[in-house]
Structures are given as C-alpha cells and as structure tokens.
Amino acid sequence: MALRHILRNSACVQLSFRLKEQLFHELAQLAQSGFSFLGALEVMGRNPASRLSAAARLIHSNWRSSVSDALVASGFPARDAIIVEVGEKSGRLEEVFRELSVHYAELDAARRMLVMRSAYPLVVFHAGVILLSIPLAIVSGGWSHYLAMVVPTLGVFYVIIVGLWLLWKWLRKKLAGDTQLAKAFQCVPFLGRAFSTWSAWSFASVAAISIRAGGGFLEAFFSAGQACGNALMATASQNVVHRVATGTANLGEAFRTEPGMPEELVRAVETGEAAGKLDEELSRASSRFQKAALDQLNLISSWTPKVFYAFVVVFVGWQMIHMAGELRDSFSNVLEN
C-alpha cells in the first residue's frame, strides 16, 4: 500500500474535531459539485487567515500521487487515510468524505459534552486551591508562603493531566501494533469493552464502505483491519484474508474460528455472505457498534466529571481541615506570647 512510503518529516496539521468535520464536509460538497481533490483544496485554501484554509494548503502541498498519502503526510490518522484510499480507488470520494464528516461531528459533540460537564468541578478545584490558601498566607508569612502552597499544587495537577494524556497517546499507538497488549487490554473492565466496540465500529464501517464502493471483499477486510486501531483484530483480519485466499476456509468459517473478532461482527459476515448482502449486513453492524460506542463515550463523559468532582470535594475538605489546623496553631502561638 502506498501509505507506507510517505515521508516521515512532512509538516503536520493539528485540527480540532469540529474543524476536521468542517474540512471533510467542504471536501464532500465540492467533490459533489465536480471539483477534483486538488481543485477543492485550492478553493478551500483561499483565506490566508483561516486555520482550515491553512490545513487545505498544507494537504495540497503534501500531495504527490494520492489523496490518502497527502492526508497521512499532513498528520491525519491512518484510519482516515485508509477510508479515503477506498473511496479514491472506487471513485467515490464524496461518500467517504461525508462519512468522515459525520464521524468527526459525533466526536466533537462528545468532546464538548465532556468539557461542559468537567467545567464546574475544575473551577471549584482552582477556587479551592487559590482561595483557601489566602488565610494561611496572611497568618504564616505573606505571598512567598502563598505561592509555595498554590504553585506546587496546581503544578502537580497539570503534570498529572498532561501525563495521562501522553499515556493515552502512547497506549493507543501500542494497542494498534501489539497484539498481546490489545488482547490483555480488552480484558480490562469497561475500558476493554469500549476499546473493542470502537475497534469493531471502525472495522465494520471501513469494510462496508469498501465493499459498497466496489472493492473486493478480501481487500476490504484487510483495509478494515489496518484501520481499526486494534492489533488483535488486525491480525485476525490478516489471517482471515490469508485463509480465504488460499482456499482453506470460506469467509464465514474463517471469521467464526478466528479469535479476536466480536460475535456480532462474525454473525454479520456469516449472514451477509450467505444472503449475498455483505455490505448491508456490515453497514447494519457498523451502525449498532457506532451506537454502542457513542453510548459508552457518553457514559465516560458523564462519569469522568463525577469522579473528578469527588476528588475535588475530598481535596477541598482536606484544605479546609489543614487551614483550620494552621490557624488554630497560629492563634495559639499568639495567645501564648
């Protein structure tokens, strides 16, 4: 596949989910109107002050031979590039651009919900750290004492947040490349199931788009495995493709006997193969996995602020107890003297 030959030192673009949704929406609209990919990017890149236009110009400058290569060279996820490559080969770029636009719209909605639910406990935490340290600073030694209390506390908090974010990025990369780690992670309560569901959603959607666009089903399943971000499913998909290609098993049997594939996905393949409607069954499975994945994301976005708020309550309570103890000791010293 051409994606593996992309230069690694290319400039990258960092766009929010909302801007990625807008970018793929505009590409879909322009593709529907008859613009070529490069022509659409030229139209989108006319505004020098827009981040979206800057991204369009960067993608244009990274174009060498294919749309998918240009996206990867510009810093877009491999999943996006693989989906676009499917549309590019079949001449249905408009359809895959719309698929990606909807995908990023849903991710943006979940992100905004998480931010809104986390805002209040975040404000309470900062207020507790900043305001509850003032009486102690007044009693114990002024601004130097105040800063010595506030700065380390907030510093540790932000180090933890950044550390968790970096850990998640590292983990995502490892889960896409390490079969044993992906298998072990899927055994983690709730998080493992969420990971498996999201992987199955990506797998089913890419396979359905590829088959619907006229691609061969073996190529569709190979691309789906590479795009799903789950090394266990990617390995299983490669084994399925190899077994079917060599004639050692039919498609349904290969999926059924290969570990790592969710049961609902296996049944969709078996039913679709028998009925001659593989793309329809995969699309249906993709929709069900999508709903389950978004429900899990909403659950995470609902409970994360609650857990954080519980931490804030405990921390502020500890701060108040500590402040009361310090004030008591200070007043005792004043009275004794």
Between the alpha carbon of residue 66 and those of residues 39, 260, 293, 309, the distances in Å are: 14, 32, 31, 48
At residue 2, the pLDDT reads: 44
At residue 90, the pLDDT reads: 73
At residue 118, the pLDDT reads: 74
CA distance 188 to 52: 38
At residue 288, the pLDDT reads: 92
Instruction: List, run by run, the mean pLDDT of 10-residue segments along the chain (337 residues).
Output: 41 79 94 90 89 91 85 84 79 84 83 78 79 71 75 88 92 92 91 91 86 80 89 94 92 89 92 90 91 82 75 75 69 63
Question: How far is residue 179 CA from its own chain's centroid?
Answer: 19
Helix axes 93-131, 17-32, angle to 10 degrees: 160
Between the alpha carbon of residue 153 and those of residues 123, 141, 231, 303, the distances in Å are: 15, 18, 39, 24
C-beta separation of 20 from 97 below 8 A: no
At residue 334, the pLDDT reads: 59
